[in-house]
Amino acid sequence: MRALRFHADHDIRVEDIPEPELREGAVKIRVAYCGICGTDLHEYLDGPIFCPGHDTPHPLSGETLPVTLGHEMSGVVEEVGAGVDSVKPGDSVVVEPYFVCGECPQCRRGDYHLCTKMGFIGLAGGGGGLSEKIVVDERWVHPVGDVPLDEAALIEPLTVAYHAVQRSGVRAGQSALVSGAGPIGLLTAAVLKGLGVTVIVSELAEARKKMARTTGVADHIVDPSQEDVVERVREITGEGPDVGFDAAGVNATINTLLNAVRPGGVVVMEAIWGHRAELDMHALVVREIDLRGTIAYVSNHADTIRMVQDGKIDLKPFITAVLGLDEVIDKGFDTLINRPETAVKILVDPSK
């Protein structure tokens, strides 16, 4: 079968590799769509980061480079191994793309996303969604019912957003400020709206402001190049929003959030930072702001899928292109690296 393989930074190739073999307790999936994630871009530009090295295998997958990329995938069950009873051939599914040890204190208490050896399928090994087929342990396979498979490919990043919202503790009727209207920021806004929260989005890029407006995920949109975000959100909410989400990952956004949320409010860091932040510690201290980190998801897929099935979130508008494997570098990575404001979620159909 064909697969997009990561060999080194700026060295990703479409190659013919053996089709994965089904094993006991696992599910063989024919991949329908796989999203290109910002993590994939980081690997392409500066990797290996989450990927193993050429001489240093991942402790759980045991694999070294090259590995197949892709962790935001949807597909159809083709075969099931012995002992599998939660899905059957023909079911539409998504993958929760984890490797976890099951033995460390975090795994034992249920926080498997904080596993000391944690890795992601499609980065640490185990195959990936940027291939025609993949075999995944039953634990990580989630049925999606009648959710269209292109939209289902967005459930993985949507679940990242869902977990961040869960971490914030926000409730229906409260207000939230989301800084950054890239894919995760927009999906965070979508989850918040689905839960009955008033959403303010702060964004510079015109195309992303338009996406926030046309998808209906933002009740208010603020452009920090045109107005004072702190003053504007206080005009909207009174003392400031109850929670803030940093989906941009720059000093300006995090410090704006620390000053914009109400005293005693919560700020959640969603962005992956490639450098040390310089925080306005005075604002954090004197305003008693609760600053929280968030990574991926943990036991959140079922709830996220239910929100989509119940019509609380419409994922279709966030899909901006569908490519074939041979187009991933020239049309997918190039767009997302050099013109990120022109796209939200680019999907890949590995059969093309």
- Interval 278-327: pLDDT, tens: 999 999 999 999 999 999 999 999 999 999 999 999 999 999 999 999 99
pLDDT for 333 equals 97
Residue 224 confidence (pLDDT): 96
Residues in CB range of 171: below 8 A, 6 or more apart: 195, 197
Given a contact cutoff of 8 angstroms between Cβ atoms, the answer to whether 243 and 265 are in contact is yes
Helix (H) or strand (E) holding 302: helix 301-309
Angle at 14 between CA 13 and CA 17, to 5 degrees: 110
pLDDT of residue 273: 82
pLDDT of 274 higher than 80: no
Please give the mean pLDDT across all residues of the chain. 97
Q: What's the pLDDT at 275?
A: 81
Range in 202-206, 234-238, 274-278 the model is least confident about: 274-278
Residues sharing a CB contact under 8 Å with residue 338, sequence separation 6 or more, in sequence order? none
What integer is the mean pLDDT of 245-254? 94
State residue 308's pLDDT score.
98
Q: Is 73 helix (H, G, I), strand (E, B) or coil?
A: strand
Average of per-residue pLDDT across 265-270: 97
- What percentage of the chain reaches a pLDDT higher than 70? 100
**What amino acid is encoded at 167 in this protein?**
R
Q: What pLDDT digit, counting tens, does each position of 114-130 carry? A: 999 999 999 999 999 99
Q: Are strands 98-99 and 198-202 parallel, antiparallel or unpaired?
A: unpaired
Residue 44: pLDDT above 90? yes
- Cα distance between residue 184 and residue 256, in whole Å: 19
pLDDT, one tens digit per residue, over 129-182 is 999 999 999 999 999 999 999 999 999 999 999 999 999 999 999 999 999 999
